[in-house]
């Protein structure tokens, strides 16, 4: 018998020689007795009974149950009887919020992320819109001056180190601001999604109050992952660079892609674990590793599909505006050929507008999928659905029928 929650059988069949409902060991009544037909086939000649419609249970009465006491389980009451309409199985799970409180499928995770953005847009969209606007304005200014300085430096026969260094510093500064904005948005969106699972709404100020105590730790987590990635790249590529051995460089390149992908998925659930469990940096990394263990390929597939979908959505929004800006404000095809179109103010502004729109849309989906993957893994491994049901006020969730 399967011991999985919600899938226990309603009761074993009576063994030979025992009367249904009698205590164990009590013999069955003789043929013709109460509850048994007087016409019994000869021994060894049992045949299938004539076809007839199976008995229909009354509403609220399952097979072998008393009226009004349907078979229950952690996923709620179950009706029906084996072989008939409404066979034993898992009924619709409680759904106080954007997801049902049971192990989730791919479609339910994606739908939950989109449903949260659609239902709680007053909380979600202002966060991503503000973060995307600030990041894109800073990135646009940095790109304008950094690219212009690099273009001038490459045209010089002896480019100065200061001009190249200033361009690199501008780009790194813009990247840091972008990462900081992403951390803030991720922290606040995580709180909004955690409440959406319970069916409660969040405000921007409420999400900020809940996320603020963990912001420094989340920033430290992202910084630690970035430093670890840089150190890993150094270890992999440094021998080939120092020896100028092309074979070692290619081997490092071949090893880095699967290694980074494995680590990326292994620690992908660390941010929601850190925010929702109020844990430390290293405990959140350990939690993510534990939750991902054994289901790496599933989480990888869902995460990769999410990245592909959001990438396509971003490209559909950004690229048309970018091309229009280059053609209209960057000197047309000649400007695209010589590279001056990409630094024209009109092209940069249209491209930035497209990036703001795309980020506002795709960032909640990416964050939502990560949070719901974390919730799904805890439901599968730790029975988190019972705790969520109690927190959401779902009555009689996880109790069995009498």
Secondary structure of residue 36 in the 3-state scheme? coil
Select, from the ranges 12-26, 99-113, 333-347, 380-394, the one with the highest average predicted confidence (pLDDT). Answer: 99-113
Structure tokens at 185: 């948005």
| Confidence label for 158 from pLDDT (cuts 50, 70 and 90) | low
The yes-or-no verdict on residue 366 having pLDDT over 80 is yes
Considering the chain, what is the average pLDDT of its residues? 77
Task: Check pLDDT > 90 for residue 154.
Answer: no
Tokens at residue 137, please? 């304005």
The vertex-150 CA angle with 149 and 156, nearest 5°, equals 95
Classify 244 in phi/psi space as left (phi over 0), alpha (psi -120 to 50) or beta: left
The percentage of residues in the chain with a pLDDT greater than 90, rounded to a whole number, is 49
**pLDDT at residue 186 in the model:** 93
Using pLDDT thresholds of 50, 70 and 90, give the confidence band for residue 29: very low
Q: What digits encode the pLDDT tens for the residues 117-149?
A: 999 999 999 999 999 999 999 888 887 776 665
Query: pLDDT, tens digit, for every residue of 181-239?
Result: 999 999 999 999 999 999 998 899 999 999 999 999 999 999 999 999 999 999 999 98
Q: Helix 345-382 and helix 384-392: axis angle, to 10°?
A: 100
Q: Is 199 left (phi over 0), alpha (psi -120 to 50) or beta?
A: left
Q: pLDDT at position 208, please?
A: 95
pLDDT at 159: 52
Residue 180 has pLDDT above 50, yes or no: yes
Contact indicator for 201, 195 with CB cutoff of 8 Å = yes
Phi, psi of 71 (to 5 degrees): -60, 135
Closest by CA position to 358, among listed 196, 113, 135:
135
How many CA within 13 A on the CB side of residue 122? 5
Do 381 and 291 touch, CB atoms closer than 8 A?
Answer: yes
- At residue 91, the pLDDT reads 56
Question: How many residues in the chain?
Answer: 402
Residues 97, 198: contact at Cβ < 8 Å? yes
- Average of per-residue pLDDT across 229-252: 90
Helix (H, G, I), strand (E, B) or coil at 27: strand
């Amino acid at each position: 018998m399967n011991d999985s929650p919600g899938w226990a059988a309603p009761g074993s069949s009576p063994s030979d020689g025992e009367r249904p409902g009698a205590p164990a060991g009590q013999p069955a009544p003789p043929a013709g007795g109460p509850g048994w037909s007087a016409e019994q086939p000869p021994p060894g000649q049992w045949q299938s009974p004539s076809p007839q419609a199976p008995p229909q249970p009354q509403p609220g009465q399952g097979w072998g149950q008393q009226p009004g006491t349907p078979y229950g389980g952690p996923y709620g009451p179950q009706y029906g009887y084996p072989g008939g309409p409404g066979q034993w199985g898992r009924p619709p799970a409680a759904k106080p919020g954007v997801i049902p409180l049971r192990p989730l499928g791919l479609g339910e995770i994606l739908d939950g992320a989109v449903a949260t953005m659609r239902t709680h847009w007053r909380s979600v969209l202002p966060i991503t819109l503000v973060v995307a606007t600030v990041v894109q304005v800073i990135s646009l200014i940095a790109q304008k001056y950094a690219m212009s300085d690099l273009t001038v430096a490459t045209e010089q026969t002896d480019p100065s180190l200061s001009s190249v260094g200033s361009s690199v510093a501008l780009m790194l500064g813009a990247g840091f601001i972008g990462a900081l904005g992403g951390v803030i948005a991720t922290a606040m969106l995580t709180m909004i999604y955690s409440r959406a699972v319970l069916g409660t709404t969040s405000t921007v100020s409420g999400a900020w109050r809940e996320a603020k105590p963990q912001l420094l730790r989340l920033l430290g987590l992202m910084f630690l992952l970035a430093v670890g990635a840089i150190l890993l790249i150094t270890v992999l590529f440094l021998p080939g660079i120092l020896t100028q051995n092309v074979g070692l460089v290619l081997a490092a390149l071949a090893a880095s892609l699967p290694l980074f992908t494995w680590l990326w998925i292994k620690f992908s659930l660390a941010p929601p674990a850190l925010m929702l469990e109020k844990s430390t940096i290293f405990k959140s990394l350990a939690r993510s590793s534990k939750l991902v263990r054994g289901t790496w390929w599933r989480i990888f597939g869902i995460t990769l599909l999410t990245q592909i979908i959001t990438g396509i959505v971003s490209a559909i929004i950004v690229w048309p505006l970018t091309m229009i800006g280059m053609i209209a404000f960057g000197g047309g095809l000649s400007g695209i050929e010589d590279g001056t179109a990409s630094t024209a103010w009109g092209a940069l502004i249209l491209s930035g507008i497209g990036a703001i729109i795309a980020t506002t849309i795709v960032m909640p989906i990416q964050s939502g999928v990560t949070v719901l993957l974390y919730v799904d893994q805890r439901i599968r491994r730790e029975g988190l659905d019972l705790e969520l049901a109690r927190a959401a006020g779902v009555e009689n969730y996880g109790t069995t029928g009498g």
